[in-house]
Amino acid sequence: MLWKSTPSLKDLQARHKDTAVEQLGIEFTEIGEASLSARMPVDRRTVQPHGILHGGASVLLAETLGSCAASLCLDSATQYCVGLDINANHVRAARTGYVTGTATPVHIGRTTHVWAIDIRNDEGKTVCVSRITMSILSR
C-alpha cells in the first residue's frame, strides 16, 4: 500500500484551513490507491489580468497535491517533507469552471519523492503538467 495514512477528504480539507489552499478554493476530491486529486475554481481568485488561469495558481495546486500526497506516504511521527523543486508546463488556457489536478508517484525513495501532477479542465483537456521533487526529512 502506498499510503501510510489515509485521512478522509474532510480531514485533508481541515488540515488546510486558513492557508492559501482555502483562500483559492481548492477542494480535495479523491484519494485513490496511488493518486490524490483536488479541484480549483477558475475565478477572480485564480485568474491573471487577461482572464485566464494564473500559472502560479496552477503551480500552487500542483505543489499542494504533491506535498500532501508525499506526506501521506510517511510516518508523520518520525518524518515530514518539504518541496525541493517544482516545474510546470502550461499547455492550455482555462477561463471558466474548474481545473482538477491529480498527483501520481514517479519515485518514492527514502530521502526523496518525485510526483507528477496532471491538471485538466472540465472537458478533460490538459491545462498544465507539473513535476515536484520532495525532500523527506526526519523529525
SS3 112: strand
- Which of 4-10's residues contact partners 24+ apart within 8 Å by CB, and which partners? 4/72, 4/73, 4/74, 4/75, 4/76, 5/72, 5/76, 6/31, 6/72, 7/31, 7/72
User: Has 63 been annotated as catalytic?
Assistant: yes
User: Which of 27, 30, 33, 63 is the catalytic position?
Assistant: 63
> What Rg value do the Cα atoms of the chain yield, rounded?
14
The residues carrying an active-site annotation are 63
